Amino acid sequence: MGEWDGRTVLITGAGRGIGRAEALYLAAVGANVVVNDPGVAVDGSGGDRGVAEAVVAEIRAAGGAAIADAGSVADWDGARGMVERAVAAFGDLHAVINNAAVEVNRAVDRLTEAEFDDVVAVKLKGTFAVSHWAAVHWRERHVAGARVDRAILNTASGSGLLNPLPGQSNYAAANAGVAAMTIVHALELSRFGVRVNCVSPSMVRTRLTAAVPGMDRPAADFGPDPRDPMVVAPLAAYLVGAGCPLTGQVLSVRGGGIAVDNGWSRGAELHTDGVLWTESELAAGLSTLDLPDPFATLADALGGALGASGRAELETMIAAGLDD
């Protein structure tokens, strides 16, 4: 018996990209997989149940066990339904990977209320909704005496954590919220033996990253493609596997590199002899601090994809892209 034999994982957004790679990887190592994906477009419009069913067919053809679910994570009852479907099909649920996301890129002066709400509903509320119903099930099992390793793995993004991507007020805010919620849920759910972690993929080729500078670069003629969604799958499998001790961690993944994300941390400080600053004191004091340059931060996060003239190219890209 392998580590994943008899264990069931529910993966949202598993019809394409990173979620699909995780589903294929986990099924290959022996997990029962619930492939959730409503088959919507990048902006959340439309829907096609066949997207999830195609991944299930691929898994079954390889000898794995999987079922499809086309519910929306943003729908409270839909989130409950996918958890119940996992338990009904396989007897229990051991792990959840919250991967679902939609994206609408637009500058703050052009982003509509609906575009903001729709992205946050899927990424942030959807992560919470699925986690909530999984936690309800696990609480009931724990009270009944079941002591089985269980885990939640959330998926965030460099946008909101490391990369201040222009045009992503909604997406960045939602992903930052997911990372913060990871820590909260790790603390809350430890009493039921549930571990909660988060991965933040960067420069991975998906529908959502197609427009990011540098993503269209061809892979090397030899070796694995560092932008292939499959680079995330081994870490995801480890974090939701029964042998993993980690909880409350946010880990960035970029090619073969994994880094610990520490979130907002205190930097350089100023102090005044009194309690209230004067504006002139603030002007003088703040000018001495080593303050981050958001353009430099973004250029560094993109791995130098924009070259030595990164700042100018970024400013041009922002002006052209956000005024559409």
Closest CA to 289 of 312, 261, 264, 266: 266
**Is there a catalytic annotation at residue 171?**
yes
Residue 247 and residue 191 in contact, taking contact as beta carbons nearer than 8 Å: no
Question: At residue 124, what is the residue type?
Answer: L
| DSSP conformation letters of 131-169 | HHHHHHHHHHHHHTT----EEEEEE--SBTTTB--TT-H
Phi, then psi, of 56 in degrees rounded to 5: -60, -45
Count of CB atoms within 10 A of residue 288's CB? 9
Dihedral of CA 200/206/209/212: which sign? positive
Q: Name the nearest CA neighbour of 184 among 250, 118, 259, 258.
A: 250
Given the residues 90, 128, 133, 171, the one annotated as active site? 171
Q: Give the pairing of strands 95-98 and 65-69.
A: unpaired
Helices (H), 222-278: 233-240
Tokens of 128: 């919470």
How far, rounded to the nearest angstrom, does the alpha carbon of residue 116 sit from its chain's CA centroid?
17
Residue 169 CA: distances (Å) to CA of 72, 164, 318: 22, 9, 14
Rounded to whole angstroms, the Cα distance separating 315 from 43 reads 25
Active-site positions? Answer: 171
